[in-house]
Amino acid sequence: MNSSRDCSVEETEKNTDQEDCKIKKVVAVMSGKGGVGKSSITSLLALQLSRQGHKVGIIDADITGPSIPKIFGLQQRLKTAEGKMLPAETPGGIMIVSINLLLDEEDDPVLWKGPKAGGAVKQFWKDVDWGELDYLLVDMPPGTSDVPLTVLKSIPVDGIIVVTSPQELALMVVKKAVKMAYRLRVPIVGLVENMSYLRCSHCQEKLEVFGPSRAEESAEIMGVPLLGKIPIDTDFTRFSDQGKVEEYQGKIEIKLNF
Ligand code: ADP
- Per residue in 108-164, pLDDT tens? 666 666 667 778 888 999 999 999 999 999 999 888 777 788 888 889 999 999 998
130: nearest Cα among 158, 83, 95: 95
In tens, the pLDDT along 92-106 reads: 999 999 998 987 766
Q: How far is the CA of 83 from the centre of ligand 1 (A)?
A: 35
Cα 173 to Cα 128: distance, rounded to the nearest angstrom: 32
Determine which residue's CA is closest to atom 12 belonging to ligand 1. 37
Pocket of ligand 1 (CB under 6 A): 31, 34-40, 67, 142, 194-195, 230, 232-233, 236-237, 240
Per-residue pLDDT of the chain (258 residues; tens, 9 = 90+): 444 454 433 343 444 555 566 999 999 999 888 888 999 999 999 999 999 999 999 999 998 888 999 999 999 889 999 889 999 999 999 999 999 898 776 666 666 666 677 788 889 999 999 999 999 999 998 887 777 888 888 899 999 999 988 876 656 777 777 788 888 889 999 999 999 999 998 999 999 998 899 899 888 888 889 999 999 999 999 999 999 999 999 988 999 988
| 112 neighbors 118 (Cβ within 8 angstroms) | no
Write out the CATH class of domain 22-247. alpha beta
